[in-house]
Amino acid sequence: MNGRSFISVSLFIFIVTLFATGLIIEVGETIGEAAFENEADIPSYLLFIMSFITATHVISGVCFAVLSIFHIRRNWNALKNCLKTKSGALALIWVAIVISIALLVALLKTQ
């Protein structure tokens, strides 16, 4: 397996892991708030599992970010050529809009 395919497969694995652990964290917090009145009532094994899943989510996020940088560096020429076309520039604008909306939703959710 060459470096490019290793990075691409790893990015896919980490994004799937991020999605799954993020979903588990969100559902776990929602169920936990409904099932337990205070944190002292939560069994220790559930706290351990949630801590493990949260740590996995954070580590996967860091690995995804680092591998994304390597992915962009290895595909920089292809990216530059794509952005020179009208459809590539339009795609970049749409990606920027989607990322901006996602960041705005995350910001509003934390408040």
Neighbours of 7 (CB within 10 A): 19
Q: Which residues of 22-61 are buried (b: 16+ CB within 10 A; e: fewer)?
A: eebeeebeeeeeeeeeeeeeeeeeeeeebeebeebbeebb
Read off the pLDDT of residues 42-99 as tens digits, 9 standing for 90 and up: 888 888 999 999 999 999 999 999 999 999 999 888 888 877 888 888 888 999 999 9
State the DSSP code for 39.
G
What predicted TM-score, i.e. pTM, was given to this entire model? 0.75
Read off the pLDDT of residues 6-52 as tens digits, 9 standing for 90 and up: 999 999 999 999 999 999 999 988 888 788 888 778 888 888 999 99
Distance, C-alpha 83 to centroid of its chain: 24
